[in-house]
């Protein structure tokens, strides 16, 4: 069996953790598997390098930043290789360019174009454990690029797809994907499996287990993922296409995202295309808009509200404010004291009654719903931030604990 394993920065933060991970790798290898391992930079390495850079130039080019950051993962693979060598195992470490990860030229947020697996295959044929520096590749100029946040997950999935791996295991510091955040909801339980779409919704809803990009890639290439802990030996959660029968539970999990903000444009002139002009202004600033609500206020003017990531809120506000004359409105304001609580489940909306259960749970807690958004796989409610944890717990009780 060909297995791709990925370990994040905290899993290789120091010598002791490296030894722990080496044990997991060795076990997989000694059971007769071909093992490809993707590693992130150790612990705070990337932050330390960013700090060093900032001291020299607060606004360095992304090319040179990638040149600098790529060293972190290279150090991880070399150290892990030494650890496995010390255990007497055959191993070779490879950086992004050595392993043939070719990307586009967007430094800092590069996308993988292709993986030349020739070297990888050659090393696997020699029965070596192959350690690959995550998060990095090279563009057509042979310059180092990095893949952006969660890039090592993306590397792992891309390698698994290119090698047609039997398994792609993402080791993290949690034991899997839960029905809700287990630190907040004591009754939360680990899911055995979850579909790609459910995982995508949970990820974008704030469950920080897997980055969406790697899940999308896994879905596109049919790579079965497993999310599991590098510290606790226990089965994790499998992310794959699941065919559910009709009797199965419709809700997979509940997620909270409090890194959101609501932008409200007040008294928008009631003429055709106003909403479009507002959303176009935001979109042109490169910002994704999540929920939109148009509420009738007094007379001929409406309020239009939409939800964006908190980090983008000020940019979004400015983008709209800059076009005040063209759009026609009175004022635009940002509210960051909100949270988005979502219930996720494949085919959820085909089952009536789920929405009303959610509303009932929130009503029981006297939590006011400000905005609602529903799709085939999720139902999201915007509520005030202070009530978010209470809301998640209440919904979780309704669906999972009765």
- Rounded to an integer, what distance in angstroms lies between the CA atom of residue 282 and that of residue 264? 13
Q: Closest distance between a second copy and the C-beta of residue 97, in Å?
A: 8
By beta-carbon proximity to a second copy, the closer residue of 59 and 125 is 59
Sign of CA pseudo-dihedral 170, 174, 179, 181: negative
By beta-carbon proximity to a second copy, the closer residue of 83 and 391 is 83
Strand segments (E) across 198-245: 225-229, 237-239
- Rounded to an integer, what distance in angstroms lies between the CA atom of residue 176 and that of residue 191? 7
With binding defined as CB under 8 A, does residue 93 bind a second copy?
Answer: yes
Please state whether beta strands 136-138 and 144-146 pair in parallel, antiparallel, or not at all (unpaired).
Answer: antiparallel
Q: Is the Cβ–Cβ distance between 238 and 224 less than 8 Å?
A: yes
Binding window for a second copy (CB under 8 A); candidates: 66-74, 199-207, 295-303, 338-346: 66-74
64: Cβ contacts below 8 Å, ≥ 6 apart:
53
Q: Closest distance between a second copy and the C-beta of residue 44, in Å?
A: 14
Binding window for a second copy (CB under 8 A); candidates: 49-57, 194-202, 288-296, 383-391: 49-57
Element spanning 4, H or E = strand 2-7
With binding defined as CB under 8 A, does residue 61 bind a second copy?
Answer: yes
Q: Is the Cβ–Cβ distance between 119 and 98 less than 8 Å?
A: yes
Sketch the per residue contact string, 105 through 144, with a second copy: x for CB under 8 A, - otherwise. --------------x----------------------xxx
By beta-carbon proximity to a second copy, the closer residue of 49 and 292 is 49
With binding defined as CB under 8 A, does residue 15 bind a second copy?
Answer: yes
Please pick, from the candidates 60, 108, 148, 347, the single residue that binds a second copy as defined by CB under 8 A. 60
CA angle 224, 341, 225 (to 5 degrees): 5
Of 181, 182, 180, 193, which is closest to residue 226 (Cα–Cα)? Answer: 193
By beta-carbon proximity to a second copy, the closer residue of 18 and 26 is 18
Please pick, from the candidates 10, 20, 33, 98, the single residue that binds a second copy as defined by CB under 8 A. 98
Please pick, from the candidates 10, 20, 33, 75, the single residue that binds a second copy as defined by CB under 8 A. 75
Site size toward a second copy, by CB under 8 A: 38
Q: 3-state secondary structure string, 290-343?
A: CCEEEEECCCCCEEEEEEEEHHHHHHHHHHHHCCHHHHCCCEEEEECCEEEEEE
Residues in the site for a second copy, rule: CB under 8 A?
A: 15, 18-19, 49, 52-53, 55-57, 59-61, 63-65, 67-68, 70-71, 74-75, 77-79, 81-83, 85-86, 92-93, 95, 97-98, 119, 142-144
């Amino acid at each position: 069996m060909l297995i791709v394993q990925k370990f994040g920065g905290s899993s290789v933060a120091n010598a002791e953790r490296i030894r722990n991970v080496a044990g997991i790798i060795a076990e997989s290898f000694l059971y007769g598997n071909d093992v490809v391992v993707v590693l992130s930079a150790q612990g705070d390495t990337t932050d330390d390098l960013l700090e060093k850079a900032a001291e020299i130039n607060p606004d360095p080019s992304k090319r040179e930043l990638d040149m600098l950051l790529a060293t972190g993962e290279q150090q991880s693979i070399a150290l892990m290789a030494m650890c496995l060598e010390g255990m007497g195992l055959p191993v070779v470490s490879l950086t992004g360019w050595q392993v043939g990860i070719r990307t586009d030229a967007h430094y800092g947020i590069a996308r993988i174009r292709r993986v030349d697996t020739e070297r990888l295959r050659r090393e696997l044929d020699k029965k070596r454990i192959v350690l690959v520096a995550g998060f990095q590749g090279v563009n057509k100029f042979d310059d180092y690029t990095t893949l952006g946040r969660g890039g090592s997950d993306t590397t792992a999935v891309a390698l698994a797809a290119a090698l047609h791996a039997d398994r792609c295991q993402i080791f993290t510091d949690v034991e899997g994907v839960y029905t809700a955040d287990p630190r907040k909801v004591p009754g939360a339980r680990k899911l055995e499996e979850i579909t790609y779409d459910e995982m995508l919704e949970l990820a974008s809803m704030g469950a920080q287990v897997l980055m969406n990009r790697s899940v999308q890639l896994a879905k596109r290439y049919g790579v079965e993922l497993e999310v599991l802990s590098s510290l606790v030996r226990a089965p994790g959660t499998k992310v794959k296409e699941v065919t559910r029968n009709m009797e199965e539970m419709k809700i997979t999990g509940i997620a909270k995202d409090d890194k959101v903000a609501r932008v409200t444009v007040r008294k928008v002139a009631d003429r055709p295309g106003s909403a479009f002009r507002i959303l176009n202004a935001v979109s042109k600033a490169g910002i994704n808009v999540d929920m939109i609500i148009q509420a009738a206020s007094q007379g001929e003017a409406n309020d239009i509200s939409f939800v964006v990531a908190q980090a983008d809120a000020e940019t979004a506000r400015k983008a709209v404010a800059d076009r005040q004359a063209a759009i026609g409105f009175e004022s635009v304001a940002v509210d960051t004291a909100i949270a988005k609580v979502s219930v996720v489940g494949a085919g959820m909306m085909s089952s009536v009654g789920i929405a009303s259960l959610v509303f009932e749970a929130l009503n029981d807690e006297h939590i006011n719903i400000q905005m609602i958004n529903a799709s085939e796989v999720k139902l999201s409610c915007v509520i005030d931030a202070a009530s978010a944890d209470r809301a998640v717990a209440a919904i979780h009780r309704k669906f999972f604990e009765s």
